[in-house]
Amino acid sequence: MKLLILLTLFGLTAAAVFQHQLIRVKSRKTRMMEKGTWETYKKSKSASQPMTDFDDIEYVANVTIGTPPQSFLVQLDTGSSDFWIPDNSCTDNKVCRHKFDSNASSTYVLKGQKWSITYGDNGYARGIVGEDTVRFENGDDDVLVVPKSAVGQANQISSDFGQFPTDGILGLAFPSINEEKSDPVLFNAYKQGLLDKPIFTIYLEERGHVENVNAGAITYGGLDTEHCSSDIDYVDLTSEDWYQFKVDSVSLGTAKSSDGWQVISDTGTTLIVVPPEIFDLLAKAAGANANGSIDCNASFDDLKLTISGKEYTIPAKQLILDEGNGQCLFGIDGMDMGDYGPQWILGDAWMRSYCNVFNFQDKNIGFAKINK
């Protein structure tokens, strides 16, 4: 896959609120399905895997580190909280394509603690922690400058990450799951008074079977009043690790369940991931196959979730993902998450249906209709 076009950042009128455009790229699952390796990978995932990554990260952004700035393309992930990029000491050029040279930065400080993140049985990153200035830029102008930010300098990255066109991961979740034992970049920015509010709003745009195109925005420090309704329903989080809350019931046509589940809203996952028994129920109602494929012209009822007594609708069209060549993927997948908290992952099909407002101080999450 050829290199992605780096993102452009657009500042808002308030200096402490800014909007970051997102670009859609082909998901990890899609690439593995094309190569015929997805089912093997899925079966090999340990049931006890740390829930810090959920396979299908699709939305990327450009950040710079150091003085003068060094550019990196990173994955934005509400399912993890560490920020790491390849270090100059990494010798595997297949996964460490752009490397951070701390010796070239006048604002760099070595912190020295070691960190290691394991992504199930299928990937890892390891290294040391440094501290430097992280910048989100708009052309030649700095939109948000976050000094003294923790930067994970990865000197070992597993070959699995060679499938990604990006350099590293910028986590947006809570410090409690931060393996570097440091404040995530956004938390650090708020503590330094650089953001108006301890929130960020995610809006994802439906673009169909295309890549490397603008496909939504993250608004840091405020609400996205351009794309999202001002009528927001907030739900308290049930965990201070991920943005986790409870879904009371689910229905798709006559298929219904009211068992109740702990779920997370995650930019790092393309699909809605549910327990295998719920997948079987919903796939049958939608006419999807056990392997996740579905007729591109399938017709079925909308998916409905009840959260804190309110019903939310995910249109059926959001659950038919065009993979090209006349093949389509059902937007729901089944997987046993183990005993680590979330039983469901509400991925991009959910976020294309509602704006999500993440409040990392009040520990709640809000949902708003997308302005049409």
Q: Is 188 helix (H, G, I), strand (E, B) or coil?
A: helix
276: left (phi over 0), alpha (psi -120 to 50) or beta: alpha
d(CA 325, CA 22): 25
What is the distance between the alpha carbons of residues 16 and 89, in angstroms, rounded to a whole number?
35
Q: Residue length, the chain?
A: 372
DSSP 24-60: E---HHHHHHHHT-HHHHHHHS-TT--SS--S---EE
Query: Cα(1)–Cα(70) distance, rounded to whole angstroms?
Result: 22
Distance CA 206, CA 215 (A): 7
Q: Contact 230/357 with Cβ under 8 angstroms? A: no
Residue 292 contacts residue 280 (beta carbons within 8 Å): no
Q: Check if 77 is active-site.
A: yes
Report yes or no: 360 and 174 within 8 Å, Cβ to Cβ.
yes
Per DSSP, 221 falls in state: T
Q: Residue 89: CA atoms inside 13 Å, Cβ hemisphere, count?
A: 10
Question: Is residue 15 classed as helix, strand or coil in its secondary structure?
Answer: coil
Q: Which of 55, 132, 266, 333 is catalytic?
A: 266
Phi first, then psi: give them for residue 359, nearest 5 degrees: -110, 110
Residue 8 contacts residue 22 (beta carbons within 8 Å): no
Catalytic residue selected from 77, 167, 241, 348? 77
Active site residue 167: no
User: Which tokens go with 181?
Assistant: 């034992």
In which residue are the tokens 């549910």 written?
Answer: 274
Report which of 185, 121, 117 is spatially closest to residue 157, judged by C-alpha positions: 117
Catalytic machinery residues: 77, 266
